[in-house]
Structure 1
């Protein structure tokens, strides 16, 4: 048998040939290997024959309907399997790099903050990623995640359910907001009972803010009547700025600070956690990277 020089052996061991060898080793036949690799049987048999010819050695013996590997084939396989695994890792790395360079991420937000700050920091590191943002009430964004309309979202008080993967990013509480010239503006704290005398601006059902407000009044044994009901946080801010009444918001929920003053409410002081979250079944590099992204540590 002719002894191959190292360079000749390396030239013979192409990636395609080694993958064919691995496929036949692991499935036991040309046809099964072809089905697994989604190529024709002729392609697999040709790759193996070319490898045998280049190495001047027999790699498989046909016994009945099976391809039985020779001792040399078994020895080569130990390393050829490692080579294919390494190739798959390289392909995954290249795919991840391409995704982080040119990918698209869909993010759901209830309040602008802290989600916008997280997105801004994320795009500083991955400037070519296109981020599409859907904003809405707490219920709408949870539904968007559940239905797959967004890949990942940022909301307060995400349910601790098996279907969700969540990570806490900050804590905040609901506060009362009033116009700077409102009589309550000078107060350092108010109670739900104090608010019963005011024209109250409420949020629609499905709002995390409104859930906290309703809970606080219920615990105080009070039944307030809404003067205005709005479906967005910005609508509440504008209504307060135009002196239409007293509203409520998360104390870290917006970067805008004009037109209103925040006042702690005695029954709403308990801080609630904000989370970045996604469905556990969600796959993809970008959702995984955004989920784990910490803007403070990068």
Structure 2
């Protein structure tokens, strides 16, 4: 028994139009082809789908149930079409962006949407490890992360350069320092990120290079949790210089052992090529020329 989409479409069109001729016009196929789809389906499954009343084909109760299924299938087809075309339209396209930090990625998205308000943007946040994996598995279309290793699988564009800084409460004596060292920070309660964080990789590397193995007071899984811990006076945390647009009580203090500038990049899988991807990557270049103004705002 063969239950094809063309047969179901034909049944639905006849039920809507009341005749083979009306269905043929709606489907833009011949009248005999419509009749054949319906009659073959009835014969193969041993059912009656239409009764002829006063020259009109009226659907049987079974046919009405089948037409309900046909409508759901038609909507699924439309959804599939939207899914397949969403990366090639600026009117109702959709992109899913993965951010390791709120900034500078969120500033880039804001600028992009001002120019292309018809595009829907979905944002997923997570650790460096999580977002990289999401790009590789196509769970997100484009990632924005610092310190992304060179990888031939990725299409990349430089967004900004930044380093990791210490964040301290304004009541801390460190808030009045122009810069601090890892050695000085060993005397403070430290707040670290969990494994998979790009920030933590830089912090671990700096302390190791300085000859120290600190034991943190707290290890937290998100940048926001670290930020809130510092706001509440629990200790010294670390973040990327432009990792947030917040300008409240927390002070950013340079760490002399963490002065290396890392590239924040926008990246996607290299084989993902479409109009929408190209437009987003073009926006990165525009953003970069204005980055000093936007990020220092």
The interval holding the TM-score normalised by the smaller chain is: 0.5 to 0.7
RMSD (CA atoms): 1.7
Q: Which residue of 2 aligns with 1:279?
A: 269
- 1:135-173 alpha-carbon deviations (Å, 9 max, x no partner): 011111001100100111111011111101111111000
Separation in structure 2 between the aligned mates of residue 278 and residue 107 of structure 1, nearest angstrom = 10
Counterpart pick for 1:178 among 151, 168, 185: 168
Structure 1: runs of 5 or more not aligned: 1-94
2:122 is paired with a residue whose SS is strand
Counterpart pick for 2:143 among 146, 150, 153: 153
Separation in structure 2 between the aligned mates of residue 287 and residue 262 of structure 1, nearest angstrom = 34
Confirm or deny that 1:236 pairs with 2:226. Answer: yes
Structure 2: runs of 5 or more not aligned: 1-84, 291-297
Separation in structure 1 between the aligned mates of residue 282 and residue 239 of structure 2, nearest angstrom = 27
Q: Which residue of 2 aligns with 1:260?
A: 250
Separation in structure 2 between the aligned mates of residue 253 and residue 201 of structure 1, nearest angstrom = 16
Find runs of 4+ consecutive structure 1 residues off by over 6 angstroms: 95-98
Q: Which residue of 1 aligns with 2:198?
A: 208
Contact 1:192–1:267, Cα closer than 8 Å, also in 2: yes
* Structure whose CA Rg is larger: 1
Contact 1:152–1:291, Cα closer than 8 Å, also in 2: no
1:131 is paired with a residue whose SS is strand
Q: Which residue of 2 aligns with 1:53?
A: none
Contact 2:127–2:198, Cα closer than 8 Å, also in 1: yes
1:216 is paired with a residue whose SS is helix
Q: Which residue of 1 aligns with 2:77?
A: none
1:274 is paired with a residue whose SS is strand
1:118 is paired with a residue whose SS is helix
Aligned residues: 204
Contact 1:165–1:278, Cα closer than 8 Å, also in 2: yes
- 1:252-291 alpha-carbon deviations (Å, 9 max, x no partner): 1110021210111010011111101101022332122212
Q: Normalising by structure 2, what TM-score?
A: 0.66
Could you tell me how far 1:98 is from its partner in structure 2?
6.8
- 1:83-116 alpha-carbon deviations (Å, 9 max, x no partner): xxxxxxxxxxxx7997110011010101111111
